[in-house]
């Protein structure tokens, strides 16, 4: 995946005082907002979330056009789909789930109390900027967290515009001020300083390996993801016409900038030629050996993948390589070697797809494992088959945590064309060096305090039905007080005096309660 910012281990320049003061005020504001959200009821949260989703959905096309204009990546129509799916679509999906009320398990005599993270620092990639802004903001709000969005510098304008629109909608719907904020002028030193600040409770990092490593290195709890490099196996039992259509559509979706896109087709030799013919019908250009070499030279340099081709369409890439492929949705490059040493079987965030022949399921599995040895572990894979034995063998052996079956990998592994959690952030688990192995969902933004009774039968379980912790003044005041401490410690914003007065009042109330006990 493209880095959210190129973070290195080299010493960084200091953040100018005035820049840090502005960022520090955002952190203090977020702490205050997080405290307010933590004691907000489900009905109010639902209203806020709906208003934010509607605001994003209403301008999905505008932001899609602005993102393509600013970054030069992707396809407007496809970004509209992602923006709509990551606004109204995500909210509708989780509408029946409650991340606010206590959960009561009478059989196990346990009560679970949702605990939001607090302040979420969300790093936004250049490849899917607005969809990720929508997605992470809504997941944070559903679980009563405040969010500070930190976009890739190359997408900062559109991200800032979208974030301000969401923040305005949230505030009008009753959210506390500063529940949604954005870093308008992100820099590498500022990003690293923000990640290490104690006022941040959780980092959600979507980007390249250096970004994720920096997030983990910060000392702040972080949810990070690894790079993709998805193999797609096509066996002799599948519907070849449907497989070809799905693969071409998937690889061309938004010019292949989703990290779940197919990297290499591994086709059973007996059906390989027919599959290529069907892919031609679906508007794939099958490259000659000379054209394949030209693409190899264009896409990869001594420094790695040529970022200039990220998110460009097939016609543009072909012309840059020195040949013509008019009307092509993707460029297919046949290769003989399916190993990391063959650069074309590595991750490619552009509509160029490697194609190799395998003798059967065993060689297909070996080839998939080999190409993922360098990158892509823990990420995604796909298989087109009607043979459950092949599907099971492939899924068990390939080091991917999500395998899309008879679906395009781009939208299948990311959950938009399957029943996986729809997500713009894909966890790669232990194998990929990620803290999560799932698609990122609201469940990752909340944890639970558990009231656990003695399990002996003669110990009665309490009657907790109907009790709302937010209606208990003492608990509510304690929950609200902690995020405000940072405002007393230093800085603060325009409301800092009012915050201090309120906190002093809370402290006096608590002292009186203790003395009266």
Q: Which residues are catalytic?
A: 259
- Cα–Cα distance between 331 and 382 in angstroms, integer? 19
- Cα–Cα distance between 94 and 357 in angstroms, integer? 42
Residue 147 contacts residue 181 (beta carbons within 8 Å) = yes
3-state helix, strand, coil in the chain (%, to 5): 50, 15, 35
Bridge partners (DSSP) listed for residue 115: 447
Q: How far is CA 170 from CA 7, 83, 147, 180, in A?
A: 32, 18, 12, 8
Q: Per the structure block, which two tokens stand in for 210?
A: 């250096």
- Cα–Cα distance between 494 and 443 in angstroms, integer? 34
- Cα–Cα distance between 260 and 89 in angstroms, integer? 19
From the list 99, 14, 106, 113, the residue with the least C-alpha distance to 49 is 99
The kind and range of the H/E element at 203 are: strand 202-205
284-286/202-205 β-pairing: unpaired
378-384/352-358 β-pairing: unpaired
Going by the DSSP 8-state scheme, the letter that residue 86 receives in this structure is I
Q: Per the structure block, which two tokens stand in for 503?
A: 């906190």
Q: Per the structure block, which two tokens stand in for 465?
A: 């039905």
Q: Label each residue of 292-327 as H, E or C.
A: HHHHHHHHEECCEECHHHCCCCHHHHHHHHCCCCCC
- Cα–Cα distance between 331 and 305 in angstroms, integer? 17
Handedness of CA 33, 37, 40, 45 (dihedral sign): positive
């Amino acid at each position: 995946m493209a880095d959210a910012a190129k973070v290195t281990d080299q010493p960084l320049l200091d953040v100018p005082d005035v820049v840090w003061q502005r960022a520090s005020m955002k952190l203090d504001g977020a702490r205050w907002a997080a405290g307010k959200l933590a004691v907000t009821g489900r009905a109010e949260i639902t209203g806020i979330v709906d208003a934010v989703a509607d605001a994003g959905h209403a301008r999905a096309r505008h932001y899609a056009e602005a993102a393509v204009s600013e970054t030069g990546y992707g396809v407007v129509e496809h970004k509209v789909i992602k923006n709509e799916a990551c606004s109204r679509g995500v909210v509708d999906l989780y509408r029946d789930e409650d991340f606010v009320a206590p959960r009561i398990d009478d059989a196990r005599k346990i009560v679970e109390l949702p605990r939001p993270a607090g302040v979420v620092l969300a790093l936004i990639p250049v490849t899917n900027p607005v969809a990720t802004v929508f997605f992470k903001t809504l997941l944070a709000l559903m679980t009563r967290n405040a969010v500070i969005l930190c976009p890739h510098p190359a997408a900062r304008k559109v991200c800032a515009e979208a974030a301000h629109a969401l923040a305005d909608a949230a505030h009008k719907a009753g959210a506390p001020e500063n529940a949604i904020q954005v870093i308008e002028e992100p820099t590498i030193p500022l990003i690293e300083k923000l990640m290490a600040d104690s006022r941040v409770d959780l980092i959600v990092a979507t980007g390249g390996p250096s970004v994720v490593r920096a997030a983990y290195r910060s000392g702040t709890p972080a949810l990070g993801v690894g790079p993709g490099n998805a193999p797609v196996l096509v066996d002799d039992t599948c519907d070849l016409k449907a497989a070809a259509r799905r693969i071409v559509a998937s690889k061309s979706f938004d010019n292949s900038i989703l990290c779940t896109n197919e990297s290499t087709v591994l086709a059973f030799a007996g059906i390989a030629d027919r599959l290529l013919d069907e892919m031609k019908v679906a508007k794939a250009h099958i490259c000659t050996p000379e054209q394949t070499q030209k693409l190899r030279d264009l896409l990869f340099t001594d420094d790695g993948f040529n970022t200039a081709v990220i998110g460009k369409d097939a016609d543009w890439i072909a012309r840059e390589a020195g040949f013509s492929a008019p009307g092509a949705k993707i460029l297919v490059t046949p290769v003989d070697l399916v190993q990391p040493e063959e650069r074309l079987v590595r991750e490619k965030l552009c509509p160029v797809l490697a194609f190799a022949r395998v003798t059967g399921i065993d060689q297909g599995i070996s080839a998939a494992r080999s190409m993922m040895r360098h990158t892509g572990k823990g990420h995604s894979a796909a298989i087109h088959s009607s043979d459950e034995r092949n599907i099971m063998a492939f899924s068990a052996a390939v080091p991917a945590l999500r395998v899309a079956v008879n679906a395009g990998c781009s939208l299948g592994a990311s959950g938009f064309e399957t029943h996986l959690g729809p997500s713009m952030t894909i966890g790669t688990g232990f194998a990929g060096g990620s803290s999560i192995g799932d698609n990122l969902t609201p469940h990752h933004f909340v944890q639970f305090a558990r009231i656990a009774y003695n399990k002996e039968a003669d110990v009665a379980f309490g009657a907790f039905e109907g009790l709302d912790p937010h209606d208990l003044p003492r608990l509510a005041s304690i929950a609200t007080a902690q995020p405000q401490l940072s405002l007393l410690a230093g800085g603060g914003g325009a409301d800092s005096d009012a915050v201090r007065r309120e906190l002093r009042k809370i402290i006096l109330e608590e002292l009186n309660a203790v003395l009266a006990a």
